[in-house]
Amino acid sequence: MIRLVLSLTAIPTFLLLQVYPLLAEERPNILWITSEDNGISWVSSYGGTNAQTPNIDRLAAEGFRYEYCFDNAAVCAPTRSCWITGMYAISNGSQPMRSRYDFPHDRIPYYPDLLRKAGYHTSNPGKTDYNIGGRDDYDAWDVGKGQKVTYGWKKRAPGQPFFAVVNYGDSHESKAHGDNENTRNDPAKMKLFSYHPDLPEIRKTYAKYADAVENMDGKVGQCLAELEKDGLAEDTIVVYCSDHGGVLARSKRFVYSSGIHCPLVVRIPEKFKHLYPADEPGAVINRLVSFVDMPKTWLSLAGAEIPESFQGTIFLGKGTEEEPEYHLGFRERADERVDCVRVMRDKRYAYHKNYVPYAPAGQHLAYLWKAEATPAWEQHHREGRTDEITGRFFEPRVSEEFYDNETDFDNVDNLIDAPEHQEKINELKAALRQKQLELFDSGLLPEQMRVRRAEANGLTIYDMVRDEKLYPLATYLDAADVALARNKTSLGTFVSAQDETDEGLRWWGIVGLHLLEGHAVVAADTLTAALEDSEDEIRIMAAWTLVKLGQSEQAFATLDDMLMNGCKNEDMLHNVLDWMGQPAFPLVKKYIENGGNRQGKYGIGILGRIAQMNGW
């Protein structure tokens, strides 16, 4: 059978129609239903109480519900990059939101390419957003955007096996925006995450989103009914999952459990019971599954070619591989907000490393602030009414976090210093480093710095990070670890790093000095010299550090020049000016009064909001 599948491309088209009925009998159709932005807390079969999802619950009763399924990227575009390529986004540079950097497409196929090669009809009329340059997102699909069809399988040749994606945006974050009155669900009955203060605006936003999730569930039911009506249910494996967690602030975009722990349900017809992951339908499957595992698994189920570039693990069917011990999650820039986080976790414990700990998690992000709950929470904090748990979102972070997800799903009790967990922490830290090296983690340089380095060498980010001379990752990981440790005995290391020819090492040296805070005052001359560095990221961080140390005159002159005359990393500059707070306001006011842009991609920009908050 495998030989037949792999030789399909050699069969003339008129003969394929005669082959398809045989294939349909021996190979399953696959229907992949995806919903946007809802983690397990919003699905009732996973114990969620705010929304009722009877259609997903029924699918779980008829199939298999996976208890430990995790998104890798916590937000849509990098997640979908993982899906289409079968690769971790950090391995090829597609992790910053809506970046669309070039790929070596001759070496990185998309999974629908391989399904089509194996004879499957492929359709995805609803959602792509792959975050990849150099190729149209719908190029890999037989049925894509603009073709007026909801259920793509209806466009296949008679008897042709199909792989169909049906995506529902009814549960998307945008459905929590706007008027929160007159919801079907009762705000008073909403169960809040412990990090959210109990405010009327928050309860109403929960209720509005619960309505949206229930609307999505209804669409899932309609899709399953259509499959049944077309007589295809007994030939089709149905997969349901969300594209990441969400949707209230501190879930989507964040690698805490509420942002990455996602529902996954698989229903397999009895004729394919040899593919069951348990003896009988209705079982709960405790295998750990990462989103990067999915495309490789779909190819395996279809009997299609699986290229070496795919980095996941097959979790279902005859080709099932050994269960991985850990899941890797990551976050970098989301819209206009700079960040860099890695998380390595197993089914219970999660180790988080914050590579940008000087930034608060709760940075203003125009799109996130469109939900009434978020500005209400922020205002509550500004008024000094939050506590240690509900206020932490708006404060700078520690370098490392560690959570017991079994007892603390909300991830509010950081156990990083707990003696009884040090063995597990060290285990996960070692596993994270090993995985970063294995994947050529591209995030150890600021985003625009790595883009410039790739372009200067005529390479994609994918190829640049695989050249150890251009991207000495192990050295960067060591330098970052020393900087994030905030140990004043490393001051000499940070100072001497400014003599390195590699700007990546200079960067981590400046970060180290910044995190030393007052202990860095003896390095003021080094910081002042760094204001003349060739790389703007280093200049920006050196200037901010000097301002914090009370030596601001030359630092502000440097920041003013970059703000008014241009900068090689405008996103970072605007972020740092916001993180600086009051000392940076005169610069921002001057920028705005000179006609500087107030708007960002999804609403008011970072500097525009500073102006708005100050009445400029």
Contact 139, 145 (CB under 8 A): no
If one counts every other C-beta atom within 10 angstroms of the C-beta of residue 228, the result is 12
Residue 310 lies in a domain: yes
Is the pLDDT at 24 greater than 90, yes or no?
A: no
Contact 527, 520 (CB under 8 A): yes
Same-domain status, 312 and 459: no
Handedness of CA 277, 278, 280, 281 (dihedral sign): negative
Specify the amino acid at residue 261: H
Please give the biggest Cα pair distance in the chain: 79
pLDDT the model gives residue 21: 43
pLDDT band of 147, cuts 50, 70, 90:
confident
Same-domain status, 169 and 310: yes
- Classify the phi-psi angles of 96: left when phi > 0, otherwise alpha if psi is within -120 to 50, otherwise beta: beta
Residue 347 lies in a domain: no
Give the domain CATH number at 299.
3.40.720.10
pLDDT the model gives residue 145: 66
Tens-place pLDDT, residues 36-70: 999 999 999 999 999 999 999 999 999 999 999 99
Q: Are strands 121-123 and 162-168 parallel, antiparallel or unpaired?
A: parallel
Tens-place pLDDT, residues 250-283: 999 999 999 999 999 999 999 999 999 999 999 9
Residue 275 lies in a domain: yes
Least confident of 6-20, 65-79, 108-122, 551-565: 6-20
pLDDT the model gives residue 146: 66
Residue 233 lies in a domain: yes
Mean pLDDT of all residues belonging to the chain: 95
pLDDT band of 14, cuts 50, 70, 90:
very low
d(CA 594, CA 238): 57
Same-domain status, 106 and 247: yes
pLDDT band of 19, cuts 50, 70, 90:
very low
Same-domain status, 143 and 291: yes
Tens-place pLDDT, residues 574-590: 999 999 999 999 999 99
Residue 600 lies in a domain: no
Q: Could you give the number of structural domains in the chain?
A: 2
Same-domain status, 159 and 295: yes
Least confident of 144-153, 178-187, 474-483, 515-524: 144-153
Same-domain status, 304 and 444: no
Residue 606 lies in a domain: no
d(CA 231, CA 158): 13
3-class DSSP state of 395: coil
pLDDT above 90 coverage of the chain, percent: 94
Same-domain status, 259 and 119: yes
Tens-place pLDDT, residues 279-317: 999 999 999 999 999 999 999 999 999 999 999 999 999
41 exposure class (CB count in 10 Å sphere: 0-12, 13-18, 19+): buried
3-class DSSP state of 101: strand
What does each C-alpha distance from 183 to 36, 189, 203, 508, 582 come to in angstroms?
A: 20, 12, 11, 49, 40
**299, 322, 345 — which closes off a domain?**
322
Same-domain status, 90 and 229: yes
Residue 605 lies in a domain: no
Q: If you write DSSP's letter for every residue of 235-257 in order, what string do you get?
A: GEEEEEEESS---STTSTTS-SH
**322, 354, 385 — which closes off a domain?**
322
With vertex at residue 88, the alpha carbon angle to CA 508 and CA 576, rounded to the nearest 5 degrees, is 35
Segments forming the whole domain that contains residue 242: 2-177+204-322
Is the pLDDT at 538 greater than 60, yes or no?
A: yes
**304, 322, 340 — which closes off a domain?**
322
Residue 466 lies in a domain: yes
